[in-house]
């Protein structure tokens, strides 16, 4: 007859710890890192023209979001802060739907200054290196007749 310690569980001594919980934590951390990298390198670079227009209106656009032609026209003297301040604080601007035609797109921005008339302008976007870039405005100039 064998003697069994009353504190011992049937089937042998109790195992402490184990590698299961540690392995699960490592897997979760790796998945979070991969997800963050995908977001910043894939999804961030695939912003739609409309989301860039919303960034433009909110002042969150950066010079990295500008097309090459717009950067070239400024010859390095382009100040993003001037663009952000251009509309003024008293103008509420709404972002319309995007219209995409191949590698070109427009998004209509509509604004009405306090006490003024509603005005619309199309923000132009081009696709460069698989990423949409802001490339200026398409103004309809009134005729001088």
pLDDT tens-place string over residues 48-96:
999 999 988 888 888 888 888 777 765 555 555 555 455 556 678 889 9
Tokens of 42: 């894939």
100 has a pLDDT exceeding 60: yes
**104 Cα distance to chain centroid:** 19
122 and 58 Cβ atoms separated by less than 8 Å: no
Query: What is the Cα–Cα distance from 6 to 104, expressed in whole angstroms?
Result: 79
Secondary structure of residue 123 in the 3-state scheme: strand
pLDDT tens-place string over residues 79-91:
555 554 555 566 7
Residue 47: Cβ within 10 Å count:
17
Mean pLDDT of the chain: 75
56 and 132 Cβ atoms separated by less than 8 Å: no
Secondary structure of residue 98 in the 3-state scheme: strand
Give me the phi and psi of 30, to 5 degrees please: -60, -45
Overall pTM > 0.75: no
């Amino acid at each position: 007859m064998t003697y069994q310690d009353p504190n011992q569980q049937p089937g042998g001594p109790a195992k402490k710890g184990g590698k299961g919980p540690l392995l699960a934590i490592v897997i979760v951390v790796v998945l979070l890192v991969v997800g963050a990298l995908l977001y910043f390198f894939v999804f961030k670079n695939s912003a739609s023209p409309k989301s860039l227009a919303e960034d433009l209106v909110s002042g969150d656009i950066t010079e990295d979001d500008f097309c090459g032609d717009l950067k070239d026209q400024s010859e390095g003297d382009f100040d993003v802060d001037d663009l952000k301040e251009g509309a003024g604080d008293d103008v509420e601007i709404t972002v319309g739907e995007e219209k995409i035609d191949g590698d070109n797109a427009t998004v209509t921005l509509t604004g009405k200054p306090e006490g003024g008339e509603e005005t619309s302008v199309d923000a132009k976007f081009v696709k460069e290196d698989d990423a949409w870039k802001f490339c200026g405005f398409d103004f309809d100039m009134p005729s001088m007749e």
